[in-house]
Chains A and B, each alone.
Chain A
């Protein structure tokens, strides 16, 4: 599925995003499987709560980390999250 930049992104109800104390990282859990996330992937996916589109995620993270030019990296990660079924895109009403 192609990334629709105007959509809102929400985390898939069939997956769980969780902090793992023992591993000191966020992981995605799903039936009999687990993906270990690096810091930036986790920061992006945490914002996929159904209230933000791509622009909003980019600007929030650029503000938070006091940097610019994150758009390409973020849309790349969202695309692969979408392909893996971790997130869904909801068209804006």
Chain B
């Protein structure tokens, strides 16, 4: 199908993008990789009248060592996250999660900022940055602000970003020597996750978040607490769905999703604990 008609703007800088979105207001949408927005527009589930194409803002595409964390520009493509030596060394969980996104074509177009701003609970990266306790940097007409990942995902396809704010940077803490595991359960290699788990563990500290187990990515706080309290992996994994609100769809009923999440959390924690 074809999208409804729209106007197209291509700003040269982040500042110009922000001023454009202020000019056009609610009718405008940022276009990054287009791999979430354009499918919705083709099905006419989204009908923005102005697209502000930020896809070529080179100054928003970078991966930098910032001491205790790695700073990633919002326009960085999944492919660059996947193959970054810096991330492979300091935040391997995120690089591996990026490698699980869609297929090659998708990873070459889609951006980390687009994926997070879109706030789809079925996406791989939102849960991953949640498990890692990342910070999101948003920029609006009044300047920059910092949003912790736990406060970012508000509801189904809903984030803490204001309509006229641009997500500019993702700050991910270094993992030092933590064990980690990203497990994605799907039917075909390039599919979205039916259920996914992003987990890391460093002795009694750990982070566990679930993909597609509710309207937002889910932080499995009960599992984290249980591990901190010295529970076994099996006992902790049994609490995997304490915070989840899984839905039923063609691929899985809520009951089966619950079962899968428990199996996957157990397997992920076993890998992390090795």
Q: Do A and B bind each other?
A: no
